[in-house]
């Protein structure tokens, strides 16, 4: 009984820490800050999946953690395409090794989508890719009984969507058109 309580407490603690990192990250403007919190969140998710014994999910989260570390280093420009291909190959191998039936495709597909948006590198697409890529994880967390992670993933999807609309759609200010200096000088001479 004590082991079950400890497991439950660890699960919830890791889930809450991952949730805090994730929700805050999707509201940040700078890519580096977003990526650092996403990396911390992935570390907590790995721990939570391992405690829950959801092997495919933990493998995908481990790869996602390494992926986030690598992509964080490419703050100002896109990582080489071959890095994305290597990440995809590793995800495919780990999914095959930990295959538990069609359920294993859910974290795999979600991870592929989000990896592409991180590789692409624009914060707008990272937010959108996070919302779309985490949708299969919502189903996976329910099917594996990881309800705390379901809540975290749901809030992550919501935070990504809110951040996308707040920062990318409604936060875009159109700059006023600048009159050319050539026209101004000609007008003044007359």
Residue range 176-182: mean pLDDT, rounded: 51
Dihedral-angle region of residue 122 (phi above 0 means left; psi in -120 to 50 means alpha; beta otherwise): beta
**Token pair listed for 180:** 């050319």
Report how far residue 102's alpha carbon sits from residue 124's, in angstroms, rounded to the nearest whole number.
Answer: 31
Burial class (CB in 10 A: 0-12, 13-18, 19+), 99: middle
- Burial readout 107-126 (b: 16 or more C-beta within 10 A, e: otherwise): bbbbbbbbbebbbebebebb
Cα–chain-centroid distance for residue 132? 10
State the pLDDT at residue 84: 94
Against a cut of 0.85, is the pTM above it?
A: no
Dihedral-angle region of residue 10 (phi above 0 means left; psi in -120 to 50 means alpha; beta otherwise): alpha
**Token pair listed for 67:** 């992926």
pLDDT digits (tens, 9 = 90+) for 58-90: 877 888 889 888 888 887 788 899 999 999 999
Contacts of 139 (CB under 8 A, 6+ apart): 106
pLDDT digits (tens, 9 = 90+) for 110-156: 989 989 998 987 888 888 898 899 889 899 888 888 777 788 789 88
End-to-end CA distance of the chain: 91
């Amino acid at each position: 009984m004590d082991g079950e309580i400890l497991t439950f407490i660890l699960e919830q603690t890791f889930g809450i820490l991952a949730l805090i990192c994730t929700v805050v990250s999707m509201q940040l403007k700078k890519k580096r800050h977003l990526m650092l919190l996403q990396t911390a969140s992935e570390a907590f998710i790995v721990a939570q999946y391992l405690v829950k014994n959801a092997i495919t999910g933990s493998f995908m989260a481990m790869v996602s953690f390494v992926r986030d570390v690598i992509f964080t280093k490419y703050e100002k420009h896109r990582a080489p395409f071959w890095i994305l291909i290597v990440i995809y190959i590793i995800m495919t191998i780990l999914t095959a090794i930990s295959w538990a039936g069609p359920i294993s495709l859910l974290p795999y597909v979600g991870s592929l989508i989000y990896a592409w948006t991180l590789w692409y590198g624009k914060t707008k697409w990272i937010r959108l890719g996070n919302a779309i890529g985490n949708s299969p994880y919502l189903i996976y967390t329910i099917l594996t009984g990881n309800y705390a992670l379901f809540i975290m993933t749901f809030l992550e999807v919501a935070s990504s969507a809110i951040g996308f609309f707040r920062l990318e759609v409604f936060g875009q200010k159109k700059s006023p058109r600048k009159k050319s200096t050539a026209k101004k000088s000609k007008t003044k001479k007359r």
